[in-house]
Amino acid sequence: MESVRSRPALWGWIVKYQLVCLATGQRIMDAYTLHHTDNALLQADFAGPLNIQDAQGVWKYLDWLPTSSSNAYVAGTVTYKAEALGDALGMTDLWVTFHGYWPEKGGLCPTGSFKDMEAVPTIQRLRDHDCKGMICASAGNTARAFTHFCGLDSMPLIVIVGKDHGHRIWTKTGHPTDSIKLVVVEDGDYYDAKTVAKGIAKQLIGWQMEGSVHNVARRDGIGSLLLDAAFTMDRLPEHYFQGIGGGPGPIGVHEMAERLITSGQFEGPVPRQHLSQNIEHCPIHNAWQARRDHLLPEDFPSEEVTVYSDYLLNKGPAYGQVGGVHDILKASNGQTYTVKESDAKLAKTLFETIEGIDIMTPGAVALASLQQALVSGEVDSSSCTVLNISGGGVERLRQEQSTEVVEPWLRVNKADGASMILKALEQE
């Protein structure tokens, strides 16, 4: 017999959306589906128009989120015209989408990054499909977001991080974490954490990988920042700037822009994508500048490197997949940049001095690349431009509120990590 919980998901598929394979065009029923065709993304195709809901955060845009309904959790964008920062840069039409803790401004991301906007609809999608729990690998922001919201929801979560990232998984003091199992790979990095996560996902029936760029709830949740910007500005921007690691953010933004244009709610073209990386680790930049539609080993550094923003350090970005970063750069006539640490630090200081709020390193990288684009003439100073500050207010939040680091449930090594986790679960 069909469970009551599963019915909304089925109804949602029939009435609200289908998943479309971007390589074959095939339409499939969503079963928290992450993969269908090799080297291609799935995309949610919504049957109806977008009607703005009387809600907060991402749930204002429920019609274009791949969930049967909303939930009680709040995370969202605040878009504002950055006149003072624009004046400092010589720009007349600069807008910021800010994601973080900034209560008087309307900042609605409680853990300080736009990953909150990915977590909120993902948890609802998991509930729609009656999943037992979620597995998440992260360098910090994603893990912290899912720890926060899965804790509130009592959703079982196994979150796996590398040796240098455990301290980033913190919550407000007293925040519920009974459903959270934090695993630290003591001899590994983010890439190793992902490998361990995939290893246990194959064995835990009914559990789901968070999915990163392959998770349509993540892409559409984060893509809603473009909806917030467009309806705030009453137009689509000409340019969009973001620091990039794996790619869910810009892909989601591009997909939302296409929906707005196709639906007739806004006129095109889609915003030009301007994506920036650390100069020491810049595979997307290297491949795009070489005009290749795929990554090569030589696009990556030959040895481990230290970067300014390790949130953007990703050894497997979604570049060459159908619907991936290469495709959206091509479709938008986009550009890529590399940023030195010194320039990113100066950009961070500039933003914080003018705007009065701390920002995380990916936003600083994005701002530094905007400065490059202005100098080179890639962007005209009068163009309507959106700068994504993808995380901020964290320092302020931790000054104003008591926080605590989540204690690891298990410490593992990368070689045997998956088996160690599975054994520990069996013993509970």
pLDDT score recorded for residue 139: 80
Q: Which two tokens stand for residue 186?
A: 């003591």
Residue 367, CA distances (Å) to 61, 112, 157, 344, 389 in order = 27, 18, 34, 8, 8
Q: CA-to-CA distance for 380 and 396, rounded, in angstroms?
A: 34
Q: How far is CA 294 from the centre of its chain?
A: 22
Nearest to 243 by CA among 288, 310, 297: 310
DSSP letters, 140-203, are: SHHHHHHHHHHHHHT--EEEEEETTTGGG-EEETT---TTEEEEEETT--HHHHHHHHHHHHTT
Q: 45-62: buried (b, 16+ CB within 10 Å) or exposed (e) per residue? A: ebeeebeeeeeebbbbbb
**Preceding amide of 269 cis, omega within 30:** yes
Q: What is the pLDDT of residue 2?
A: 30
pLDDT reported for residue 286: 98
Residue 190 CA to residue 197 CA, distance in Å, equals 10
pTM of the model: 0.94
Instruction: Please enumerate in sequence order all residues whose Cβ is within 8 A of that of 196, keeping only pairs 6 or more positions apart, or say none.
Output: 137, 160, 183, 185, 188, 412, 414, 417, 418, 421
Per-residue exposure over 277-308, b if at least 16 CB sit within 10 Å of its own CB, e if not: bbbbbbbbbbbbeeeeeebeeebeeeeeeebb
Question: How far apart (Å, rounded) are the C-alpha atoms in residues 359 and 362?
Answer: 8
Q: What is the mean pLDDT of each run of 10 residues along the chain (428 residues)?
A: 35 73 96 95 96 97 97 97 98 98 95 96 96 92 95 97 91 96 94 93 93 96 98 98 96 98 96 98 98 98 94 93 98 98 98 98 98 98 98 96 96 95 94
Which tokens belong to 78? 């605040």
Please give the Cα distance from 130 to 32 (Å, whole number): 9
- Residue 133 class from Cβ within 10 Å (0-12 exposed, 13-18 middle, 19+ buried)? middle
What pLDDT score was predicted for residue 7?
Answer: 38
The β-bridge partners of 336 are: 275
Closest by alpha carbon to 138, among 46, 233, 222, 209?
A: 209
Beta-sheet strand order (sheet of 42-46): 27-28, 17-21, 42-46
Sequence-distant (≥ 6) Cβ neighbours of residue 261 within 8 angstroms: 236, 267, 268, 269, 270
- Of 397, 379, 414, the C-alpha closest to 89 is 379
